[in-house]
Amino acid sequence: MRVVTWNVWWRFGPWAERQKAVLAVLRELRPDVVGLQEVWAADGENLAGWLAGELGLHWTWAASPASERWQRRIGEPGVEIGNAVLSRWPVVEQDVLRLPAPEDVDDGRLALYARLDAPGGQVPFFTAHLTSHLQASAIRCEQVTALAGFVAARRDGTDFPPVVTGDFNAWPDSDEIRLFGGTRTSPAAPGLVFFDAWEYADPAAPSATWDHANPYVHPGLGPSTRIDYIHVGAPAGPGGAGTVLHVRRAGDGPVGGVWPSDHSAVVADLQSLTDAPGTPGS
C-alpha cells in the first residue's frame, strides 16, 4: 500500500501552475492513499476533487472553520483551506477534529479521518495540519494529545494499524513528535504508539521536507529539516500489515520549471493485509 503525505501550499505563489506539477508528481507515484494539507476550494472547485478526478481516486475533504484568517494573507476572499484524503478505495466513514489552540494563534487547523475499504480489511487513515508558530511546541503537544485521542477512538474494527499523516511543523526530536510516537516517552493516548516511517529510510537519503533548496522556502523560518510525517500504529497487524517497506521524499524538485509546493512530499510503501507473508515474531 503506497501512502503519500503532502502540504500543497494552498493558493500561495503560482498556484495554477503548481497544481499541475502536484498532479504530475502524484500521477508518477501512483499512490493508494494520499493525505493532503492546505487544500483550496473556491467558486465550486476543489483542488482535491480535481486531483481525484484526474487520478481516478475517491476523495473527501474538510474545510477549516477559520479560512478567513488565511484569506487575509493573500487578499483573496472566498477561498477555503482544509485537509483532504485521496484514496484508491471507497471512503466508508469520516470525521473531523479541530485541533486546540489559543485564540491568538488559532487559524482553524484540522485533523481529518477517513476509513478506507481496502482489500483484506479497512484502513483507519488520518491527515493533520498542526500550528506552525516556531515558539508553539507546547501548543503542538496539546494538539498531538487531542489527535492521539481522536485516533484511539477510531482505530478499532480492523486488523490494519492506524496511519496518521501530515504536516506537524515540528522537528523529529521535538517534544511533540516524541509524545505522539509514544516510544521514547509515555504515549499521548494510553496504549497507542506509532512508528515514524522515516526511521526505515536509507540514512543517507535526503530527509528535509522543508528544504532551502526549494525557492519557496523562507530562509528566515529556520534551517532545512523534516516536518512532514507518516506515522504507522504499532505493533504491525497480522502478517506484518502496516510494516514500512520503503520510504523516501517526492516532489522535491521542479516539474516543468515549477516547484509543486514549498514542502516536499513523503511517500511510504506499507505492507498490506493481502500481501502479508506471515505473522512476524516479537
Instruction: Please provide residue 41's backbone torsions phi and psi, each rounded to the nearest 5 degrees.
Output: -145, 135
Digitized pLDDT (tens) for each residue of the chain, 282 residues in all: 999 999 999 999 999 999 999 999 999 999 999 999 999 999 999 999 999 999 999 999 999 999 988 998 888 889 999 999 999 999 999 999 999 999 999 999 999 999 999 999 999 999 999 999 999 999 999 999 999 999 999 999 999 999 999 999 999 999 999 999 999 999 999 999 999 999 999 999 999 999 999 999 988 888 999 999 999 999 999 999 999 999 999 999 999 999 999 999 999 999 999 885 643 332
274-to-131, 157, 227, 269, 271 alpha-carbon distances in Å: 37, 17, 31, 14, 8
DSSP 15: H
Virtual torsion, Cα 209, 213, 218, 222, nearest 10 deg: 60
> Residue 281: what pLDDT?
33
Domain total in the chain = 1
Q: Is residue 276 domain-resident?
A: no
> Residue 219: what pLDDT?
85
What whole-number distance in Å separates Cα of residue 282 and Cα of residue 269? 22
What whole-number distance in Å separates Cα of residue 259 and Cα of residue 253? 6
Q: Is residue 221 domain-resident?
A: yes
Q: Is residue 184 domain-resident?
A: yes
What whole-number distance in Å separates Cα of residue 28 and Cα of residue 50? 16
Helix (H), strand (E) at residue 34: strand 33-42
Q: Is residue 40 domain-resident?
A: yes
Q: Is residue 280 domain-resident?
A: no
| CATH label of the domain that carries residue 160 | 3.60.10.10
Residue whose C-alpha is closest to residue 94's, from 171, 181, 35: 35
113: which strand partners?
95, 126
The per-residue b/e assignment along 229-265, b for 16 or more CB within 10 angstroms, e otherwise, is bbbbbbebbebbbbbbeebbbbbbeebeebbbbbbbb
Q: Mark out the alpha helices in the chain (DSSP H runs).
A: 15-29, 47-55, 67-74, 137-152, 175-181
Looking only at the bridges linking them, the beta strands covering 110-116 and 45-46 are: unpaired
Q: Which domain holds residue 91?
A: 2-270
Q: Is residue 282 domain-resident?
A: no
What whole-number distance in Å separates Cα of residue 14 and Cα of residue 19? 9
